[in-house]
Structure 1
């Protein structure tokens, strides 16, 4: 596997409305650990979307890992001008991230027209990646449930490994992170 699709909850689905929310630290810690594990198994491209939340945090984490690993990151938007209705601050945040990825493109050459563009996006992501990592818990559905269903349906007859990081997993990462922080204080 060399190309990994990473997706998950939107920031608002996690109750995150500020970049300095402590939840972001734990989520990025978990993303870092999971992405490193994937890189050590041969992944060299992380492909994600532009959504606020897991997708944008993934780009930030991968960019931090570039000094240690030979990894590239691509941001694929489902359609043109996805940020068109976002507030100015979030548009600027996305514009900044676009300059920090190794590749950026939109799957559709048009602005949003109908839900079939989102279906086409999923088909594109599945056919252009070798596996997936979702920050997603089926017990707490969000918009990521559509990617979850697309991945599980795609697996019928295909070798497409994927992993979900659940809320229980994130709680475990929070405990490990806390222990590491406490250990660092004692030195």
Structure 2
């Protein structure tokens, strides 16, 4: 697997409203564990759509790993207007994404709802797999992309959910307390 799409919960969907939230540390450590495994297996490209939350935390971890590994980052925004209504912290996130090795926009502007499906199809057709954070018991609009991921033939998907994060958090706590 050479290219991996990264996606999942947005920060507000997890009720995380500050970058100092301690849950982000646990999530980022779990992301790093998975990314290192993918890199060891030959991963070269990580593809992002430019969202806040899980995607951006994975982007930050991947940026840290770039110093030690031959890893490339691509951001393919859905629209050129992506993030223009975000607050100052959100605009900082966009500016970080714009530093990726490859940045592109799928569309100039929103014209119809079919663009989202075509955009998702494009992302899946240009990656070998998907790494995501999602729990089907806590649905969001991500369920539509996940359905496409699961239906795509010869496409690998690797998901983490709340249960895995809780287990990982317990392991971290055990490591610190021993």
**How far is the alpha carbon of 1:78 from its aligned partner?**
1.1
| Equivalent residues of 1:79, 1:117 under 8 A apart | no
User: Are 1:136 and 1:166, in contact at CA under 8 Å, matched by a contact in 2?
Assistant: yes
Once the two structures are TM-superposed, the CA of residue 175 in structure 1 deviates from its matched residue by 1.5
User: TM-score normalised to the size of structure 1?
Assistant: 0.90
Gaps of 5+ in 1: none
Q: Please point out which of 154, 160, 163 is paired with 1:159.
A: 154
Corresponding residue for residue 104 of structure 2: 105
In the TM superposition, what is the alpha-carbon distance from 1:97 to its structure 2 partner? 3.0
Instruction: Give distance in 2, aligned partners of 1:149 and 1:25.
Output: 29
Calculate the TM-score normalised by the size of structure 2.
0.94
Q: CA deviation at 1:150?
A: 1.3
- Given that 2:52 and 2:93 are in contact with CA atoms closer than 8 Å, whether structure 1 keeps it comes out as no
Count of aligned positions: 178
Per the alignment, do residues 181 and 70 of structure 1 end up closer, same or farther by CA in structure 2, a change over 3 Å counting? farther
Instruction: Say what the alpha-carbon RMSD is for the aligned residues.
Output: 1.3
Q: Runs of at least 4 residues of structure 1 off by over 6 A?
A: none
Residues 2-24 of structure 1 show CA distances to partners (whole Å, capped at 9, x for unaligned) of: 00011000000111000010111
Is the 8 Å Cα contact of residues 47 and 76 (structure 1) preserved in structure 2? yes
Secondary structure, aligned partner of 2:75: strand
SS at 1:85's partner residue?
coil
CA deviation string 1:108-166 (max 9, x = no partner):
2x212222121111111110000111111111112221211111122xxx211111101
Equivalent pair of 1:134/1:163 in contact (CA under 8 Å): yes
1:12-31 equivalence runs, <5 A? 12-31=12-31
Gaps of 5+ in 2: none
